[in-house]
Structure formats: structure tokens, C-alpha cells
Structure 1
Amino acid sequence: MPLVCWLGHLLAVVGLVLQPAGSLKAPCPIPDITHGQLEPAQNFTSGSTATLTCDPGYVPLGATSTVRCLASGRWYPRVPSCIPGHCSYPPVIDHTDRNPQREFPVGTTVTYFCRHGYTLLPGVSPVTTCLQNLTWTTIPKLCQEVQCPSPNIQHGREMSPRKDEYTLGQQVELQCEPGYVLRGSQRIQCWSDGTWRPPVPYCDKVCGPPPKLTNGQITSLKTELFLYGSEVKYRCVEGMSLIGDDSIYCTSDDGVSLAWSKPAPECRVVRCPRPMVERGRMTPQRFTFPYGAVVRFSCDEGFVLRGDAESRCLADSTWHPPLPSCQPVLCPQPHVANGRLNSTLDGKMWYQTNETATFECFQGYHLSAMSSTATCLPDGNWTPLPKCKKDGDADACEEVHYIKAAFECGVPIAEVKTLLEIQKLLLEVKKLNVELQNLNK
């Protein structure tokens, strides 16, 4: 007992002994104790005792919880107080560790974790709590030794004797049945979380050897195992044509079994006849036309292509699309404002190349050009058409507008120059006429 407490206790006893007989006894006050109270609850007089009772989760401060009321009206020893309670160290659980914590007041939670090579039992909480009665919530067995399930691989097996369970660090090697190939790692290991790493592989079905090609060969044969999606390509020996697709691939129609997408192509001698298009030309120029050969056509001047400009030699020795033809270029029926056709061709809707049409003007109009004819050109257009000018209109201005329109419509420069020369001569003639009229006056 500390010296101060011992002296206080001695003075209290001396005071009690020296108290005059018959003197008044002072009552002790009921103390206000946070989180606690004195029991029994009554009026405390000299010599009576009381016991301190703390609220749940609290404990008395000091060595004793019993006090006595002195004749002086004071409590001895001094009324203790209630402080928060603490739990002792949490229980030790096999194969676990916890955080390095030293104090555990009421309400503290502690979480356990399993040591390497062990894993938590399913459905068991690894947490314990310090209760108000200063005990820990019950916690059962938490950890069990890590075990990996036996790797299940369809169409495959383990190379070593099979077990029901495997412990941490154990390795397994796997292989597939004939006709299947292993997709993934051949060797796997049991990991600390009870899983296999790398993940358990699987056995994938493969296609059988690809069909052979008579008079040909496979050009992309790099493996003997043909997985889903594998492709092989074929080619024929020199002098023969490949009939069909040049490649096939390993696929599945039902999502389970694998097979080649189609039979192998064929190698045959295929020739198409020389394509002949009258009044036409062919490119490229060649002498033989094997299967798959492609040719393009164009027509001579004055003729236009009817049909497809390109054709291919098929396996049945025919051309597809069918060969085109070259038809003569035709010009549509020409029309002149304020005039009409005046020839045996009048009434025709189309005119062949080099055909000529003759025109005449309606009453009150006259031709403004030297020529009254137009000719159908090889490109399907007419030479410049004559124009019908109203009697009395200014010839020169009209001809200038006509020449301008012809130039803007794409008439060749040589023809425009010719028109200009003609108009120049026409102006000279008109000038001479005017001078002659002035001389006759």
C-alpha cells in the first residue's frame, strides 16, 4: 500500500478512536459515480459500508470496490470510479495469426488470418469481439490445410496416379487422348488459395488429315494436329488448273465434332475457246485460255459494247458472263429550232455513223450557216447543226452567239476555227453587198 494511502488510513482510524463519546454522527453523501453506483442504495451513516457496482463494460478503479462511511461524513477509502473494461489477450487458434495489438477495450474486434498452406473453413467468420463481460466471443476452428481438387479434364488424364485431393505445392502433368490436343499448360501446381495455376487445361478435338489432291499438293502443311479453324491450301502441278476453292479449313457444324469445311478441289486440264467479239478488241492478248483466265473487251471506233466488259473462263470451259457484242454507234434524231429535216431520212429516230441529215427552215426564217446538213459522228454526236434565223435579224451577232455556244458545248477547236473563217467570209460578202448598194444609188 502506498505511504500516502497508509497515512490517510491511520489518521482516519485515530480520528474514529478519539471521537468523543456521544458526539453526533455525520452522514456520508451519496456520491455521483459515472458508469456506476454504490449498493445497497440507502442513507449512509457512520460505520456503514457500501460496494461499488459498475455498468456493464466498466470496472472499478483501484484495489477494492468496498468503502466505509466515517464519523466525519467522509468515505474511506475515497470513493473509486468506473473505467472502461479490457479483455485479456484473445485466444490462440491453430494455424492462424492476427494483427499485433496489445490493448483490447470492450467492443474491440480481432480478425484472424490463416498461415501459409492453410485456408479458411467455408462459412466460418474469422472475427472475435471483446464483450461487456470482458470475455471473447467463441470462435471455432478456422483454418484447414490447403487442398486442391483433382483436375478433371475430359478426353485427357494425369500422367501420374490420380488422387482425390492435392496439397499446397504439388504438381500434376496432364495429357490428352489420341485425336485431341492439349490447350493450355501441360503442368499445373496446387496454389495457396486451393486453385490450380496455370488453370486446368482442356483437350480440344482436332480434324483428321486433310483430303489429298490428285495431281496437286498442300502448300501450308506445317503440323499434324489440325485444331478448330486450321486452314490448308492446295495448288496443282504445272499445266493443270485448280477447280474449286484453293483452301479448306477445320470447322464444326454441330459445335461438337470437327470436320473439314469441304472436299479437296480438283486438278484438271481446262481450256476455254478463244473469245471472238466482232468489231472488238481483247486484252490481254494471249493464245491459250486456262481455267480462271480473265479477259477484257473494248470496241472499235463507231461501235459500242453491249454486255459485260470482262469475262472469266469457268471449269466447264465456258465464258462467264457471256461474251459481249459490239453494236454500231447511233445518233439520235436531230432537231433544229424553227426548222425541220428535209431528206429521205426524215422520220427516223436513230442514225448510223456517217449518215447525213438535211434541214430547211420554216417560213419567215432562213439558214444562218453555209451548210444545211449535219453528219452522225462515231461518238454518237452530230456535227454542228445549222440554225434557222428569223428574216431581218442581225446575222453577225447571231453567228457570234452561235459560235460561242458551240465552243462552250465542247465542239472541237478545229471545227470552231473553221466556223470562224466561214463567218469572216460571210461578213466580207455582206460588206461588199452594202458597198454595191451604195454605188447603185
Structure 2
Amino acid sequence: MPGFLPWPGQLLAVAVLVLQPAGSLGVQCPVPSITHGQLKSAQNFTYGSTATLECDAGYVPVGAATTVRCLGSGRWHPRVPACTLGRCPYPPAIDHTDRSPQHEFPVGTTVTYVCRSGYALLPDVSPITTCLKNFTWSSVPKLCQKMQCPSPTIPHGRETSPRKAEYSFGHQVEFQCDPGYVLRGSQRIQCWSDGTWRPPVPYCDKVCAPPPKITNGQHSGLRTEQFSYGLEIKYSCAEGLSLIGDESIYCTSDDGVNLAWSGPAPQCKVVRCPKPTVERGRMTPQRFTFPYGAAVRFSCDEGFVLHGDAESRCLADGAWHPALPTCQPVLCPQPQVANGRLKSTLDGKVWYQTNATVTFECLDGYHFLDDGSMSPEDSRTATCLPDGKWTPLPECKKEDAANVCEEVHYIQAAFECDVPMAEVKTLLEIQKLFLEIKKLKVELENLNVQVL
């Protein structure tokens, strides 16, 4: 039968060669060459004898006729059969495996098994089977084992479902942390085919205790169940009350293990500071109420200087801190003129108020320097300015040859400083005479004005 596949243990039929009676014609049939097989007969291939086809291991006859007879014409009947490569039946099914979708399995064919999802190949076991020459498959042991995930235990937490001795592919687990801890990660995880948990196993992190409550106020964590590390809580007071203390506190750690709040909770109080008043001063910004935390800055009117801190803030005790400053009149220190002195120091003043004017006189042997920009009378006085400084002070110069060049600078255009002393003194006498004439002229003009 075409396509015949012998099963394991099946024996090939061997046809018995029937010899003709003695005296028959001595005709012989040729010995045929059969690939992967040969004809077998008890005697020579003579007329009337029969022979049976035997194929090599792993091969089977082609067609149904495996026995042939030698005819008187010296030919085989039917035609000499052939051998073809044999096939194995479907390979055996192995638990928890799949294989390639082949339908024919000639001798020598190999088939590889693959473990199904959730199972893994046993170590040191080959997943390959081979079609043998006896048309059977090579031995295939147990190949796959079910994948297991490690026990998902977490410190300070537990599974909400009953614990199992083994966790295989597809198992799901949910967790819950002990009081005082918060779950970091996914609450539900599943065992995957590669033996790992997805998402990864979570952990339980320590949290702060609920933040302290305050009277007449509240904090931002009223709807929060777990107060984890780094969480900020803000406090606020009822209308009309001031928050005394830090507005925010944080869940933090001093030792890296235990968690606690960064500080005490603030308080809500009625705090009002009195209106700050600084005589001869100004306040910015201008406002009419001064609750806790309000800050103002001060400056003084012209001619006055600020003593104390320029800024003050209303604190929890209802007072201004630092204390309010004062505005004191601007004072000029007693002026000092080299080689000169004040005309009147009987009052013993050391400081002078704004607009105070003092008069100087030079010591013996010195005289005032006149630079031509002011009259001699003006050069002898100084006035205290609003910024605490004096108008330019006069200068007293010694009447000797050392100061000749300075006192006769108007002469230097015509003479060098090395002019002989006799000539310099003459020039000075002329200058002095000129000034006396100028002074006399001014007095005469004043006298005429009085007469008129």
C-alpha cells in the first residue's frame, strides 16, 4: 500500500522462493540494484522462483508488492520494488510543553519542545527528541517544572490574603502595612512566568504621628491618613487671630530612622501692637492696624538723625522689636582750625545745633589766608549744616618765609619764589597798604549811607 508506515515491532514479510520442478528451462532473472534495499531468495534467481524485498534500517518498501517472481522471459513480475525513507508517528505529548507544528517526521527528524508560559525547563535536560531508524522516538523525560516566585514578605507589613506555601505563575498578592507605616510601591503584585513579582514587592516606610491640633486654627493635613517623610503641614488661624510661631512643620528625622515633626505647632492669638510714633520722624508704609508680624521703617525730618534701628516688627508679646528709634537733632562737633581758635569758648560747648555760627581767630604769628573767593570777615566764620558738617573752615598761616609762596601766589606770575626777601617784604607792604585803603573806602561808603 502506498505510503505504508511500519510501526515499532512490525516485521517485514519475507516471501518464500518457490522453485520449479527439476527439468525446467534454466532461465535466470538478473540481480536488481535497489537503493537502500535488496532482494532475498533461498536459491538463485531462476525461472519460477520468488524473492522478497528487504529494505535497509530506516527504510520501507514503496508500494504494496514486496514479493516478485522470475518469469520465463528472464524478467521480474511485478516490477522490482524500491525502498524509501521511513517515518515516525507523531511525537509523544509532554506535559506543559508545545512543539513546532510539523505533520511529517522522516527518520532522523528532530523535534524541540518548548515549555509553556509559567513553566521552566528542568536543568541538565535536553528538550530535543529524534525519529530513530526503528521508527520510534528517542526517550523524552519530564522536561518542564512550574515556575515559583519567592515568598513576598515585607517588614512591618503583611499579606491581606492567606499566605501560601508556594507562589507560582499567576498568583496575586495584596499587602497592608502595620500602623505607623505607609506602603511604598504597588499594593497588589503578581507572580510572572519568569519567577519574578511585577510590580516589584513594595515596602513599608515609617511615618510621623498625626500633627498636633491647635485652638482656633487648623492644619492642611486634616484629610491625610499617613504622614510620610518630608511631608509639609501648614497651619492657619481663624479670622482676626494671628499665627504665633512657624507657619509650617515637616515630617523629618534626626537619626535617619525615627520620624518626628520638625518643631512644635504654632498658636493662634489676638495680637495688636500700638501705633508706633517717632517724634520728628516718618513711618513707611503708612497703615492703620498693626497685627502680629507687621513691620515698619522709620526716617527723620531734615536736621534730625535716627538713633536706634530703622525697622521694627510687631511680635507675639504685642510690643515692637527692636524698640522704636528716636529722632535727635543733628549736631556738629566743635570745629578745630590748625593754628587758630574760637573767639568765644566760655560756654564750653562741644556740640552745636544746625545753623549755629562760630567765629575764629588766628594765634599770634598767624593770619587768615584770603584766597580771594570770600571777604576776610566770611573767612573767619563757619556754620553748622543739617548734615552735621561745617561750612568750609578758615585757615591760619604762619607769617614767615616758609609761607611766602602761598600768601603771595598772585605775585608768582611776575616773580619766582626765589625772589630776594627784601623785595618780597616790599611787595607785602604794598599789598597791606592796598587792603587798608580798600577797607577805608568801604567804611566811608557805609557812613554816607547812614547820613542819607
Once the two structures are superposed, what CA deviation does each residue of 1:386-441 show, in whole Å capped at 9, x if it has no partner?
2335666236699xxxxxxxxxxxxxxxxxxxxxxxxxxxxxx97996xx9xxxxx
- Alpha-carbon distance change, 389 to 323 in structure 1, aligned in 2, over 3 angstroms: same
Once the two structures are superposed, what CA deviation does each residue of 1:63-108 show, in whole Å capped at 9, x if it has no partner?
xxxxxxxxxxxxxxxxxxxxxxxxxxxxxxx999xxxxxxxxxxxx
The AA in structure 1 aligned to 2:275 is R
Q: CA deviation at 1:179?
A: 4.4
- Alpha-carbon distance change, 336 to 116 in structure 1, aligned in 2, over 3 angstroms: same
Alignment pair present for 1:247 and 2:248: yes
Could you tell me which residue of structure 2 aligns to residue 101 of structure 1? none
Which residues in structure 2 correspond to 1:40-439 (within 5 Å)? 146-191=147-192, 194-219=195-220, 221=222, 223-253=224-254, 255-344=256-345, 349-362=350-363, 363-368=365-370, 369-370=374-375, 371=378, 372-388=380-396, 393-394=407-408
Q: Distance in 1 between matches of 2:240 and 2:346?
A: 57
- Alpha-carbon distance change, 200 to 340 in structure 1, aligned in 2, over 3 angstroms: same
The AA in structure 2 aligned to 1:152 is T
Once the two structures are superposed, what CA deviation does each residue of 1:268-294 show, in whole Å capped at 9, x if it has no partner?
111222323333222223333221111
Could you tell me which residue of structure 2 aligns to residue 403 of structure 1? none
Once the two structures are superposed, what CA deviation does each residue of 1:108-163 show, in whole Å capped at 9, x if it has no partner?
xxxxx9997567999x9x9xxxxxxxxxxxxxx99975422110122322233212
Q: Distance in 1 between matches of 2:411 and 2:190?
A: 102
- Alpha-carbon distance change, 253 to 341 in structure 1, aligned in 2, over 3 angstroms: same
Q: CA deviation at 1:353?
A: 2.2
Please give the TM-score of this superposition, normalised by the length of structure 1. 0.54
Contact 2:219-2:234 within 8 A present in 1 as well: yes
Of the structure 1 ranges 374-383 and 145-154, higher mean CA displacement relative to structure 2 is found in: 145-154
Q: CA deviation at 1:220?
A: 5.9
Q: Distance in 1 between matches of 2:204 and 2:388?
A: 71
Q: CA deviation at 1:200?
A: 0.9
Q: Distance in 1 between matches of 2:411 and 2:201?
A: 96
Q: Distance in 1 between matches of 2:410 and 2:347?
A: 30
Could you tell me which residue of structure 2 aligns to residue 91 of structure 1? none
Q: Distance in 2 between matches of 1:207 and 1:181?
A: 10
Q: Distance in 1 between matches of 2:191 and 2:305?
A: 79
The AA in structure 1 aligned to 2:182 is V
Q: Distance in 1 between matches of 2:122 and 2:273?
A: 79
Contact 1:366-1:390 within 8 A present in 2 as well: no
Q: CA deviation at 1:263?
A: 3.9
Please give the secondary structure, in 2, of the residue aligned with 1:172: strand
- Alpha-carbon distance change, 338 to 260 in structure 1, aligned in 2, over 3 angstroms: closer
Q: Figure out how many residues of one structure are paired with residues of the other and give that number.
A: 281
RMSD: 4.0
Q: CA deviation at 1:183?
A: 0.9
Q: CA deviation at 1:239?
A: 1.5
Q: Which runs of 5+ in 2 are unaligned?
A: 1-94, 98-113, 127-141, 413-433, 442-452
Q: Distance in 2 between matches of 1:223 and 1:397?
A: 95
Contact 1:157-1:175 within 8 A present in 2 as well: yes
Q: Distance in 2 between matches of 1:243 and 1:382?
A: 49
Q: Which has the larger radius of gyration?
A: 2
- Alpha-carbon distance change, 345 to 378 in structure 1, aligned in 2, over 3 angstroms: farther
Q: CA deviation at 1:226?
A: 2.0
Contact 2:120-2:145 within 8 A present in 1 as well: yes
Contact 1:339-1:360 within 8 A present in 2 as well: yes
The AA in structure 1 aligned to 2:368 is H
Q: Which runs of 5+ in 1 are unaligned?
A: 1-93, 97-112, 127-140, 399-428, 437-441
Percent identity of paired positions between Structure 1 and Structure 2: 74
